[in-house]
């Protein structure tokens, strides 16, 4: 069964490029991006892992830990990481999970038989500190992931978790957000002292509250 939003993210133990880990112990109370790769030494994945490493500071300031999954061995992972660091001018220091028996891939439904009977698809899971699945994305093998979008969604999720707001279409960090319908209009001033705009009774906007 595929994981749905709000489901518990399954725990697992695995060998990785930084040593053996227990998923829950490793992530502790962080937000998490867990994403899969069909195999080592593949071109699109090489750019994705490199881009992830380049964005290390962006993930850290959002309290996000990143883990990648590939079905190859730790030995292959270390060889591939050297290639990634060389070609993408970066330093991959986050865990690359060795999922040779496909346990993690099966737990997270990363193998879609109509796409490939054996290889994982490009799945992305954002998991909250409560270990609940907050976002799922699935890309085709030919399309590299958009990490600006992944960071944008994390910003939105964290705003919702902390301030009872939602974000409109194409929202970017720094722009106005939407007050969730559960908050009555008369209660908005007490919760959002920067002010608000009532576009419609059901559409109230306010400046991003954490800036």
- Which residues form the catalytic set? 45
Contact predicate 206/196, CB 8 Å: yes
Residue 168: closest CA among 145, 200, 191: 200
Name 53's Cβ contacts closer than 8 Å, sequence gap at least 6.
Answer: 84, 85, 88, 90, 91, 92, 93, 94
Contact predicate 13/20, CB 8 Å: yes
Contact predicate 126/91, CB 8 Å: no
The tokens for 5 are 């939003």
Distance CA 37, CA 115 (A): 13
List alpha helices for 42-187, DSSP H. Answer: 43-54, 56-61, 74-88, 103-107, 147-163
The string over 169-208, giving b where at least 16 C-beta atoms fall within 10 Å of a residue's C-beta and e elsewhere, is eebeeeeebbbeeebeeeebeeebeeebeeeeeeebbbbb
């Amino acid at each position: 069964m595929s994981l749905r939003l709000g489901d518990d993210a399954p725990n697992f133990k695995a060998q990785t490029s930084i040593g053996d880990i227990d998923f829950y112990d490793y992530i502790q109370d962080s937000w998490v991006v867990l994403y899969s790769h069909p195999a080592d030494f593949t071109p699109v994945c090489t750019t994705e892992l490199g881009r992830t490493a380049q964005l290390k500071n962006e993930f850290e300031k959002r309290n996000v830990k990143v883990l990648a999954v590939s079905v190859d061995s730790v030995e292959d992972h270390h060889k591939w990481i050297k290639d990634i660091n060389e070609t993408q001018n970066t330093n991959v220091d986050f865990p690359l999970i060795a999922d040779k028996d496909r346990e993690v891939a099966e737990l997270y439904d990363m193998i879609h038989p109509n796409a490939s009977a054996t290889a994982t698809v490009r799945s992305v899971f954002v998991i909250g500190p409560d270990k609940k699945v907050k976002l799922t994305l699935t890309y085709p093998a030919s399309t590299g992931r958009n990490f600006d979008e992944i960071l944008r969604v994390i910003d939105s999720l964290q705003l919702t978790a902390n301030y009872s707001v939602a974000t409109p279409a194409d929202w970017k960090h720094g722009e106005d957000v939407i007050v969730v319908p559960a908050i009555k209009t008369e209660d908005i001033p007490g919760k959002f002292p920067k002010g608000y705009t009532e576009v419609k009774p059901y559409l109230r906007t306010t400046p991003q509250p954490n800036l």
